[in-house]
Structure 1
Amino acid sequence: MKPGHKDPLHELAVYLETRRGTVLDRWLTELMKDPLMTQVSRLPRDALIDHLPPVYAGICAALTQRPANTIRERIDADARAHGNTRWAQGFQLDELLKELDLLRRCLQDATSAYFASAQGVSRRLEAPAHRALEDLFSLSINCAIRQFSDEQAARVADAIAQRDRALATQQESEERLRIAAAAAGLGIFEWDVAGQQAVWENPRMFEITGQRPQDGPLSGDEFRRSVVHPEDLEPLSQRFNEGKVPGHQVHAVFRIFRRNDQEIRTVEMNGRFRFHDDLEPYCFTGTLADVTGRVRAEAELKEADRRKDVFLATLAHELRNPLAPIRNAARFMDRRLQELPLDMQWVAPVIERQSQHLANLVDELLDVSRISTGKIRLRKEVIDLKESAERAVEAVRLVSESHHHRLSVHFPDMPVFVNGDTTRLTQIISNLLDNAVKYTDDGGEVRLRLDIENGMAVITVADSGVGIPAGDLPRIFDLFAQTDPLIRKSNGGLGIGLSVVRSIARMHGGSATATSAGVGKGSVFSVRLPTVPAPDVPSTCLAVQETKAVRQLKILVVDDNRDAAESLALMLGLDGHTVQTVHDGTSGVSAAVADSPDVVLLDIGLPDMNGYEVAEQILAASGDHPPVLVALTGFGTESDIARSAAGGFSRHLVKPVDPDRLVAIIGDIADSLARESRGSAPADVRAEDEATSFDPDRGRDRHA
């Protein structure tokens, strides 16, 4: 994690520290109610509470993810000191366990309250947070038990010295029974290494494993053969072998078959080997907890997350479908703008801008899901960042001009080479410019600078807009972060764009920052990216541009959305192409076989058969001269795009596609076919496409 970045567990630790007084008060109140805690009533309040803060603070410190060895040493020291104090105060071991278990429950309740009230914190992190606390308390309890046991052993040694060995042994046995009776839901067992037998030390072990007390000790072979799930046996054995080192704690989570009913349960084991003087292990003492409920809850959270992804993909598809014909119709009107009455010529650009805005919102929502789940793949290459910046400026220029902004751009004379994904870096700059335009009043100023400082490319977007309150600056890049509604303009976004900027910058090894002098004084956003040396041969010089041959194509559009199909046909027809439309898969196959089109623009979600099946039948019937297949669909996940590539599609375009981009793609295909007809080597449509369209994130129509 980068310096300065606060993760949710860090924030939870800060919260728990601030609630320490409340938590300890509740702990003491509950402790005083327990009639079995006889020693509690004999001690003053200060003597009870004053020894707990180190344990409490150590657990909070562990949540900040400091170096594991340091945290383990601190928890070990604090827990052992606490156990030693309780021994001196006359506590019994079951009383020590009970008070620590009560503290654990109070902290878990405080953690639940934190996630219920915290803003901007994913509930998916709640289960890991609870699990982290359980692990830390398990470590603390084991350390306290060891200290208590050491003190007990010392007492036994004294008793032996006083010729009272028999009585001391009986006391030790009784103490172990008290441990078994009071261990909060933990089963305790001991495994004899030499005899290869395991003994359950308390009733809870019999409950967890389903073994009957009258069955006697369980051999190691029988435990592995009839209790441990076969798929978990090897990892469990590995954990045991790793633990045969003095001072090493063994921790494992595995599945068992409960012996009385063969139900599969998930258990968590913690323990440690004991060693002879020659460092040979002679026994293993451990605890076992049934964590089946916790594991099931985590699985349910994962399933809920999967359903969320499916919902977002479906929602995106349903939203993109109506956007496609709207944009096509707007572009058709724009191409025929001079034929419209003057008082109607404003309609086309308005529809185009607003439909593009809706398309960007859909894409940003999906970006958030992909980034949070690590599903974004960067296609890195050495590029001149100035080119990405120029594309971003062009994308926002029309909107900026509509607000009469003074848009100024400053680029260095030399290239600014970075190793990055062209589309994603363009998206970073577009999002920053779009944010500046949104929050700058009409007639204001927006400035874009690109500089090189100390080996870093620095992108700076400054505006004269509404500014950012000082209290909002620390969270301005957080997901769904919004400034005060009285300050931000009504056309502010969802609070996603800046979060995407920071995430993509970090994926490129960079950073994003924001500054503002305050409300009404504008804002400055900066992104820093590491530069790289210039390539041997700049990519812009690798290809020689040729004049494209003009060729009219026969195009078949297969889409059950009639508005989308007809508007697309009108738009492509303006360039002289012959376009036929059909609205189901069967008709698409028949039309392709009958008319032999050059290009098939094919929707995937058709009513009678899906687009992959249609493509398979068209290719099978086309022989040596198949049409160029282009998927034009609302489905844009990585698996959708990979399936298109495997199914014979040359491109996968996600609705709503920028009409200009689609016209350019059709022009590229026409040029490739013209070269082929002249006997020249055709343009490598698939190779170009695999570097762009078949990327699940590049395949979309993106200006931001």
Structure 2
Amino acid sequence: MTDSQTGTTLQALAGFLRREQARLTERWMQAVAADADLIEADRLTWEQLADHLPAILSGICIALEEQDLQPVERAIERNARQHGNVRWQQGYRVDELVRELELFRQELAAAVRAFAASDDTFTRDHESRALHLIDEALSFVTLTSIREVIGERDRTIAEYTSQLERANEELREQQREVGELYRSRMQVTRGLVHDLRNFLNAFSIDLQLIARVPSRAEAGLALATRQAEDMKQLVDEMVEYSVVVGDSSQICIEPVDLPMLFDELVTNARPAIEGKGLRLSASLEAGLVRVQSNRIKLKQVALNLLSNATKYTREGGIELVIARCGDGRWFMRVADTGVGIAPSDTERVFREFERAASDDIPGAGLGLAIVRELCHALEGEIHFESREGQGTTFEIRFPVDLKPRG
């Protein structure tokens, strides 16, 4: 028999399969529904179950007409990949996917035999050739679908693994932060206990002094008063920090009268500065009258910087400057001639419960941590320079017109 005759016969078979497509698909679906091993198929609708198999059948018909799989190999591969991807999303196992396609092959083989029985010109050679092409096509479909399922599974595993690694890294970071927080809490606890013990010891000694030597009562009371003031400062600092960190409410933006704020800052800071024998130099740029910000938080920033400068300066002076810095911003600068900050401590001093120097200076080491949190809320940029033994300059640059967030 010539290739032309074979081609004509296989074309007739392809036409038969196209006409029988609906009945063929229905018989296949009935076979799938009756198969006890195909669990996931029971959950699918008719359209979901059919999926890309009609398109694959169309490709097989073209392969029969051409007597070659190659012309439709790409189209069959594309449909097979889509079929495998859909079945993965529908929860199929690989064995279910293979079994389902095997049932489809059996239905096609039965259709070929039915056609052979109805057409005397369809020989055993024709049948063998047709079944070979169908087996070749469905083996290709099965292999491609399995690869797609495995690829999707591997991608999902890789994604879950990546998420797990990120979660583990975040957990390690949180554990590290918890460890650091614990250490810092222990540090401040030890510091508080130490300060409290010193306060109580001094207070006890002062009471004994007053009782034993009435003429020294005034000196004893002065010492006790100073200890009480130091403890009050420490407690006030901790309360202020807890309020700043715990405040998650929307910041209230309002017109701030800078000359009025400037006068208030000078009035508040001057007694402590001059009480240590230091000089206070303060200046406000003329014409800088009003900004949009939050007055209370700006005042907290300035007073914390001024308080820090006062605590760490033994002689010389402290400078407060408020002026413009261009590009819609203004700055608040506090400079001192104090002990300074070592280069190795420039990051550490902004952490909670850290101190710029090891001197026995009252406080919990929260001043700059408070400044950092407030500046974040006010969109302030912190710049500072410091030289050990020569002093420190903090300059905070704020927007002239602070906008609400969100």
- After TM superposition, the score normalised by the length of structure 2 is 0.46
Point out which structure has higher relative CO (alpha carbons under 8 A, 6+ apart): 2
The structure with the larger Rg is 2
TM score, norm. by length of structure 1: 0.28
